[in-house]
Amino acid sequence: MIVGHIGVRKGSKGVPGKNFRDLLGKPLIDWSLEQLLEHPRIDAVIVSTDDERIYNHSVAKGCLEMGLRPDELATDGAGKWGVWQHSLEKAVELMGEVEAFVDLDCTSPLREMEDIDGALDAFFEEKPDMIMSCTEARKNPYFNLVEPDEAGSLRISKPLPGGVVARQQAPVVWEHAASTYVVSPAYLRRSQALFEGRVLPYLMLPERCLDIDSELDFKIVECLMKERING
């Protein structure tokens, strides 16, 4: 069984109420939730939240009834991993054993259905502990990311012998795009963090994995979504 998952907290400091905020006629969460509910390879969907309105909305659309998440998983300091572990065990209680745990970040609604397929294909073909969505980094720590030294002077974050004078010479780096994950349940149970096992990238187009973390982000995503809808 493949379980789809979305985790959303009630609070948001950058964009208050963003997870249920209207985006072109429906709540932000629905752009991702409907992808899971409509995807032919997803057998059941579970939403972890401390927001009663979002929870009732999700159950009404067909999600499993797992109850609200515990208070200790609803704080600013609660990490994604603990939420995933709790949701996995709730899904197993309700539906039986799981072979893949698919998490979508609802603040990254521009993914396509084919991205879910691509991440699942990579998971079952490569058999890693986790597939994580990534995209080409706009800045490179070997070339144009800098940080201050002890005296406050700027230095390249990851200097190489001889230096790097052109971006094309720098080692390839990817951004961790918080969009789409496929996780092995065994890995999720035995580990305490994302990068403890064999984690492989699923590369996405940058315009498909923009994450809403500010009002400007919301406006950009809204504009791109409108373009997509209008063809």
CA distance 46 to 5: 5
Shortest CA distance to 99 belongs to which of 120, 126, 69? 120
Q: What is the pLDDT of residues 105-116, one digit of tens each?
A: 999 999 999 999
Range of the domain at 35: 2-136+173-229
Q: What is the pLDDT of residues 35-62, one digit of tens each?
A: 999 999 999 999 999 999 999 999 999 9
pLDDT at residue 168, as a whole number? 82
Residue 12, pLDDT > 80, answer no
Tell which of 125, 152, 172 closes a domain: 172
Do 132 and 144 lie in one domain? The reply is no
User: How sure is the predictor about 78, in pLDDT bands with cuts at 50, 70 and 90?
Assistant: confident
Residues constituting the chain: 231
Residue 25, pLDDT > 80, answer yes
Do 153 and 67 lie in one domain? The reply is no
pTM here is 0.93
Tell which of 152, 172, 192 closes a domain: 172
Do 42 and 94 lie in one domain? The reply is yes
Phi, psi dihedral angles at 181 (to 5 degrees): -135, 145
pLDDT at residue 108, as a whole number? 97
Compute the average pLDDT of residues 67-91.
90
Sign of CA dihedral 138, 144, 148, 153: negative
Do 191 and 165 lie in one domain? The reply is no
Do 12 and 40 lie in one domain? The reply is yes
**Total number of domains in the chain:** 2
Q: What is the pLDDT of residues 192-226, one digit of tens each?
A: 988 999 999 999 999 999 999 999 999 999 999 99
Residue 73, pLDDT > 90, answer no
Residue 14, pLDDT > 80, answer no
Portion of the chain with pLDDT greater than 70, in percent: 98
Do 159 and 193 lie in one domain? The reply is no
Do 69 and 164 lie in one domain? The reply is no
Do 109 and 62 lie in one domain? The reply is yes
pLDDT at residue 76, as a whole number? 74
